[in-house]
Chain A
Amino acid sequence: MKARELLSRVVSPETLRDIIIQIIAILMAFLVGAGVLLVTGYNPVDAYAAMFRGAFGDVFRVGQTLTQATPILFTALAFLFSFKSGLFNIGAEGQFLAGAFASALVGISFQNLPAPLHVLLALAAGAVAGGLWGLIPAVLKTRFGAHEVITTMMLSYVALYLTSYMVNYPFKAPGWVSQTVMIAESARLPRLLQGAQLSASIFIALALVLLTRFILNRTILGYEIRATGLNPSAAENAGIDVKRGMILALVVSGAIAGLGGSGEIMGVHRRFIDGFSPGYGWDGLAVALVGGLSPVGSLLAAILFGALRSGGMIMTRVTGVPLDIVFLLQALVILFVAAPSLIRAILKRGGLRW
């Protein structure tokens, strides 16, 4: 009781309730996951212990977890930014790839630029490319009424196959791997840990967490975007240019996703490799939802998903549990988070009232 009172001073009771429901959803996912492990003949305690050590066991493992968390944090922020204006941008994958390829292009095109300038240029290219990839569905929506769920998703496939073509033909590096040549040293983001892939891209992501939070909650733009998302008719009546707000939100959303792609290329892979994204764009949607559609929540959810991935690999190696259990856990977390009323019903059964 005391703890709850104390907490409620920091966050509103509604927010606190949402957080608790979210945590319970995650715990329940692990519980069901444990059941699956038991049934399939593995020891869930061993498996989860191995997974936890794999995710947070030492500095290197934490680095791996954060490496996995970084790209999905970008795409989660992208999703939630457009969502606040009432648009479902489910095409972060396409914007992510567009940004990645643009950065790679800038990275391989210049050789003698000073490093800070080259990095900024490559990042800007990624943001612009992602933003443009968001502008297309925005225009289709506001001009022709095409639904953004369809157009953003379809444009993801366009980006996927277009970049794939680029690295298979015009920009293919010598050899048989479908990839570009390495980007110039001057365009690389510094790595943060010896021997690990964690790069300075995570600082960009963290800055964006604060920036999106600030824009959405403090600025006129954010106010108008939220008003548009919550009640477009009332926003219009209040003199807010709803179409402009939607276009801006999708462009900014695309730019955030694009920067995520830039970070992967410039920090992790240092070149554009065909199929380097295992679906970071799609994961971002799930991360944003699990994070309660808030920037800080998305950060925590991204770490959770990153930990599942990096810890899952170790778990597979140590205990022989197939990696699929990780995807099962992810799916279960999403399922339980998507069903808050289910959680509430369970809480009520347990005699707790929310």
Chain B
Amino acid sequence: MAPAVEMRSIVKTFPGVTANDGVDFSVEKGEIHGLLGENGAGKTVLMSILYGLYRPDAGEIYIDGERAEIESPAAAMSLGIGMVHQHFMLVPSLTVAENVVLGREPTRKGLIDEGEMLERVRASCAEFRLDVDIEAPVHTLSVGVQQRVEILKALHRGADILILDEPTAVLTPQEVEDLFMAIRAFTDQGKTVIFISHKLREVLSICDRITVLKRGKVVGTVEASETDMGELAEMMVGRRVVYSFEKAKVAPGEAMLTVEGLEALDDRGVPTLRGVDLEVRGSEILGLAGVEGNGQTELVEALMGLREAREGRVSLGSTDITGASPDERIRAGVSHIPEDRHKRGFIPDFSVTDNLILGSHREARFTRWGFVIDYEAAAGHAQALVEDYSIVTPGVGTHAGNLSGGNQQKVIVAREFDRNPRLVIAAQPTRGLDVGATEYVRKKLLDMRDGGSAVLLVSADLDEIWALSDRIAVIYEGRIVAVRDPAETDETELGLLMTGGRRG
């Protein structure tokens, strides 16, 4: 039988970059095929070509053995190819059913036929065994359910080949299990799934075969049952990757960050932090585990002085910083790796140099006469950091937005760690990073801890919390519900705590 997808010698170049360099990629009908690779390895470009978002410079695509010219997503859909993007493409104010039929609404006399619409979408839910309240507005749904709606949308439009781009990045462990069950059900119905992910463990547990891309070329395709994380990681980065860190035994120091009864509102004015008590000591990494949206964002912003604390106290060492401005906190020794680097972390249209002095730009070493920035000193400093942190950039004058995601994150990490902070607030520090960069950032966090800094690690990735934390705190609905020693807990217990299933 012909493979469901066969891509032969695909070449795609962008100015200065060869994203796909003669890629051969083949997916059997009914299999779950993992696509792995570091950022910039070309996997998203390859899938965008399959989905008709890009035209390849050279190469051929065969769908079920037939030569196909895929000129647009519409053409891809008519060939039975559906894609669920990392960022959902749903209209928040419309209902699930309206989103699913969007663009091909059943009509009667020019008006939407509501009854017909609900009936069809309900039929799809049953057929694909996806359980969703189809009359609920999308904005009221959790992220996991929204993803289900995206999948439903693709299947409803007749997708036989489903591309999932980093589908687990935003899910809780329980939601990931649900997703995997759904994926297995699709393949039982003869559908084909292409699964893009950074998380090796997940790829290994769900996929039948795995293709690894590196710098636009295929490194190899392996059977999931015949490989392991070590081999896959090595294929991706071309060398051995440290997976479990040798954590030096360091005795925790004095309390560095003390949070007592902290309350704050979210952007809509809803009380989201509802009395947070927390302590992070010097030479300690405190991992904050929790399902996204339980107050982590607000907590970090309140700790940085970006969000007003309505009640409670925040102290750094013995100093009360509850009402301090971000600037005062930075100068007191607080560093922050923001969860959304594009929003808060750096300025894409600034040069690497400008980004590396952001927040330190008033310091005497980068200024002259108190009001002029000494760009020569700044560039020298940037050059040193680029070397120390092995940031890959054509030069320090390059716009930071032109760097790869991993290198953008390294710019932020370099800037924040170079200040010798007493407290590091690291929110999702490795989100979207490839294996090499992830390893690097994690090692740096451990270095900071070994050097005596207090580290508050906020992460949706339990593996990360596990690998790094000296203690694990769980946040649920704006409160810390438990603090655990990693040696004395397990994934099941944390999962329950994170979803309010059990109180500490």
**Chain A residues with a Cβ under 8 A of chain B:** 218-221, 223-224, 226-227, 230-231, 233-241
* B326 CB–A CB distance under 8 Å: yes
Extra A-B contacts (11), CB below 8 Å, given A230-B349, A241-B325: A220-B373, A221-B371, A230-B348, A230-B350, A231-B346, A231-B348, A234-B343, A236-B326, A236-B344, A239-B325, A240-B327
Q: Is the CB of B327 within 8 A of A241?
A: yes
B306 close to A (CB within 8 Å): yes
> Could you list some 9 contacts between A and B, CB below 8 A?
A220-B361, A221-B371, A230-B347, A230-B350, A234-B344, A234-B358, A237-B326, A237-B336, A238-B330
A-B pairs with the 10 shortest C-beta distances?
A239-B327, A238-B359, A239-B326, A237-B344, A238-B358, A231-B347, A239-B330, A233-B344, A230-B349, A230-B347
Q: How far is the CA of A235 from the CA of B345 in the complex (A)?
A: 9
Query: In the complex, are the beta carbons of A218 and B358 less than 8 A apart?
Result: no
Give B336-380 as 1s and 0s: 1 = Cβ < 8 Å from A's Cβ atoms: 101000011111111000100011011000010001110100000
Shortest beta-carbon distance, A101 to chain B, in Å?
32
Across-interface contacts of B359 in A (CB, < 8 A): 237-239
Q: How far is the CB of B45 from chain A (nearest CB, A)?
A: 21
- Which A residues are in CB contact (< 8 Å) with B361? 220, 223-224, 238
Partner of A227 from the list B327, B344, B350 (CB cut-off 8 Å) is: B350
- Interface assignment of B304: CB less than 8 Å from any CB of chain A: yes
Say yes or no: A220 contacts B306, CB within 8 Å: no
Q: Please name all residues of chain B whose beta carbon is closer than 8 Å to the beta carbon of A234 when the two chains form the complex.
A: 338, 343-347, 358
- Is B304 in contact with A237, judged by CB distance below 8 angstroms? yes
A30 to B328, CA, bound (A): 55
Instruction: List B contacts of A235 (CB < 8 A).
Output: 347, 358
Contacts of B331 in A (CB 8 A): 239
Cβ–Cβ < 8 Å partners of B338 in chain A? 234, 237
**CB atoms of B347 and A227 under 8 A apart:** yes
> B375 contacts which chain A residues (CB < 8 A)?
218
**CA A231 to CA B347, docked complex, whole Å:** 6
Q: Nearest chain A CB to B31's CB is how many angstroms away? A: 41
Query: Complex: how many Å from CA A241 to CA B305?
Result: 12
- Structural contact, A233 and B330, CB atoms closer than 8 A: no
Could you say which residues of chain A place their CB within 8 Å of the CB of B367? Answer: 220
Instruction: Give the interface centre of A226, A236, A241 by most chain B CB atoms within 10 Å.
Output: A236
- Taking the closest CB of chain A, its distance from the CB of B421, in whole angstroms, is 13
With A233-B344, A237-B336, A239-B325 known as contacts, the answer to whether A218 contacts B373 (CB < 8 A) is: yes
Q: How many interface contacts (CB-CB < 8 Å) are there between A and B? A: 69
Within the complex, what minimum Cβ distance (angstroms) separates A223 from chain B? 6
Listed in ascending order, the chain B residues whose CB lies under 8 Å from chain A are: 304, 306, 325-331, 336, 338, 343-350, 354, 358-359, 361-362, 367, 371-373, 375
B350 contacts A220, C-beta separation under 8 Å: no
CB B371 to nearest CB in A, in angstroms, measures 5
Question: A238 touching B326 by the CB < 8 A rule?
Answer: yes
A201 nearest CB across to chain B (Å) = 27
Majority secondary structure of chain A interface residues (helix, strand, loop or mixed):
helix
The chain A residue with its CB closest to the CB of B375 is A218
List the B side residues contacting A237 at CB < 8 Å. Answer: 304, 306, 326, 336, 338, 344-345, 359
Q: How far is the CB of B101 from chain A (nearest CB, A)?
A: 33
A233/B343 contact (C-beta < 8 A), A218-B372, A223-B373 known = yes
* Residues B348 and A220 in contact, CB atoms below 8 Å apart: no
Q: Hey, which chain A residues are within 8 Å of B326, CB to CB?
A: 236-239
> Which of A220, A230, A239 has a CB less than 8 Å from the CB of B371?
A220
Q: Are A236 and B349 in contact (CB under 8 A)?
A: no
Closest residue of chain A to B326 (Cβ to Cβ) is A239
Q: Could you tell me the distance in whole angstroms from the C-beta of A166 to the nearest C-beta in chain B? A: 38
Q: Is the CB of A220 within 8 A of B372?
A: yes
How far is the CB of B199 from the nearest CB of chain A, in Å? 28
Shortest CB-to-CB span from A45 to chain B, Å, is 40
Q: B354 and A223: CB pair below 8 A? A: yes
* In the complex, residue of chain A having the shortest beta-carbon distance to the beta carbon of B360: A238
CB distance from B267 to the nearest CB of A (A): 12
CB-defined contacts of A230 to chain B, threshold 8 Å: 347-350
The complex places the Cα of A234 from the Cα of B336 at a distance, in Å, of: 11
In the bound complex, CA of A322 to CA of B9 (Å) = 63
CA gap between A238 and B354 in the complex, in Å: 12
Tell me which residues across on chain A come within 8 A of B358, comparing CB atoms: 227, 234-235, 238
Q: CA A220 – CA B367 in complex, angstroms?
A: 8
Chain B residue at minimum C-beta to C-beta distance from A218: B372
Q: How far is the CA of A262 from the CA of B346 in the complex (A)?
A: 40
Bound-state Cα–Cα, A233 to B373, Å = 22
In this complex, the member of A226, A231, A233, A238 whose beta carbon has the largest number of chain B beta carbons within 10 angstroms is A238
Residue of A nearest to B328 (CB): A239
Bound: A240/B361 CA distance, A: 10
Q: How far does the alpha carbon of A235 sit from the alpha carbon of B359 in the complex, in Å?
A: 8
Q: Are A219 and B373 in touch, CB under 8 angstroms?
A: yes
| Chain B residues with CB under 8 A of A240 | 327
B348 proximity list for chain A (CB < 8 A): 230-231
The interface residues of chain B lying within 8 Å CB-to-CB of A239 are: 325-331, 359
What are the residues of chain B within 8 A of A227 when measuring CB–CB? Answer: 347, 350, 354, 358
Q: A92 to B305: give the CA distance in the assembly, Å.
A: 35
Contact B345 A219 (CB under 8 A): no
| Nearest B residue to A240, CB-CB | B327
Contacts of B306 in A (CB 8 A): 236-237
A294 vs chain B, min Cβ distance (A) = 14
Of B346, B350, B371, which is within 8 A of A219 by CB? Answer: B371
The distance from the CB of A283 to the nearest CB of chain B, in whole angstroms, is: 27
Q: In the bound complex, how far is the Cα of B371 from the Cα of A221, in angstroms?
A: 7
Q: Give the distance to chain A from B63, nearest Cβ to Cβ, in Å.
A: 31
Report A222 CB to chain B, min CB distance, Å.
Answer: 8
Bound-state Cα–Cα, A106 to B155, Å: 75
Q: Output the least CB separation between A344 and chain B (Å).
A: 14
Query: Which residues of the partner chain A approach B329 to less than 8 Å between Cβ atoms?
Result: 239
User: A231–B375 Cα gap in the complex (Å)?
Assistant: 20
Q: How far is the CA of A166 from the CA of B264 in the complex (A)?
A: 51
CA–CA, A221 to B343, complex, Å? 22
- Chain B residues, CB < 8 A from A219: 371-373
Given the contacts A230-B350, A237-B306, A220 and B362 also touching, CB distance less than 8 Å: yes
| Nearest neighbor of B397 in chain A, beta-carbon distance | A12
CA distance A239 to B304 in the complex (A): 9
A233 to B306, CA, bound (A): 9
Expressed in whole angstroms, the minimum distance between the Cβ of B351 and any Cβ of chain A is 11
Collect the chain B residues with CB atoms within 8 Å of residue A241's CB. 325, 327
Q: How far is the CA of A237 from the CA of B355 in the complex (A)?
A: 12
- Give the residues in chain B near A238, CB-CB below 8 Å: 326, 330, 358-359, 361
Q: How far is the CB of A16 from chain B (nearest CB, A)?
A: 16
Q: Which residue of A lies closest to B415 (CB)?
A: A238
Which of A219, A226, A237, A240: most chain B CB closer than 10 A? Answer: A237
Say how far A213's CB is from chain B's closest CB, in angstroms.
Answer: 13
- Chain B nearest CB: distance from A175 CB in Å? 49
Complex CA gap A223/B360 in Å reads: 12
CB distance from B217 to the nearest CB of A (A): 26
Chain A residue, CB-CB nearest to B399 = A14
A218 CB contacts on chain B under 8 angstroms: 372-373, 375
Determine the distance from Cα of A263 to Cα of B401 in the docked complex, in whole angstroms. 42
- Write the chain B residue with the least CB distance to A242: B326
From A218, A224, A234, A235, name the one whose CB has the most chain B CB atoms within 10 angstroms: A234
CA distance A301 to B200 in the complex (A): 56
Q: CB-nearest residue of chain A relative to B357? A: A223
- Cα A151 to Cα B330 in complex, Å, equals 35
B167 to chain A minimum Cβ distance, whole angstroms, is: 27
Closest Cβ of chain A: how far from B419's Cβ, in Å? 11
Minimum C-beta distance from A150 to chain B (A)? 23
| Closest residue on chain A to residue B341 by CB atoms | A234
How far is A219 from B330 in the complex, measured between Cα atoms in Å?
21
